[in-house]
Amino acid sequence: MNYVYMLRCRDGSYYTGWTTDVDRRFALHSEGKGAKYTRSRRPLELVYVETFDTEREARMREAAIKKLSREEKIALIGRGISEAER
């Protein structure tokens, strides 16, 4: 499985990425070993996850989410994380 996820950073900004293992990737971000963007913005909160069958689908969705406005991201997050999707 492939996942697109969003993190809320300490400064209130959002980071979007894709991975094949959300828990491992979140742990790396939390340890300061993830993306450069998140290193100085810890602590982080995992606020959104979507599941995809292929890497291509996940990467396309990641790109689409990154283009959303802050308000659109907040609305998307408001729909919640489905544990069944993780």
Q: What is the pLDDT of residues 5-22, one digit of tens each?
A: 999 999 999 999 999 999
Q: Which domain holds residue 68?
A: 2-85
Tens digit of pLDDT for each residue in 38-47? Answer: 999 999 999 9
If pLDDT is split at 50, 70 and 90, which confidence band does 53 have?
very high
Indicate which CATH number applies to the domain containing 57: 3.40.1440.10
Beta strands in 1-86 (DSSP E): 2-8, 14-19, 45-52
pLDDT at 80: 67
Q: Number of structural domains, the chain?
A: 1
Residue 81's pLDDT is: 56
pLDDT score of 27 more than 70: yes
Q: How far apart are CA 30 and CA 26, in angstroms?
A: 6
Indicate the pLDDT class of residue 79, thresholds 50, 70 and 90.
confident
Residue type for position 13: S
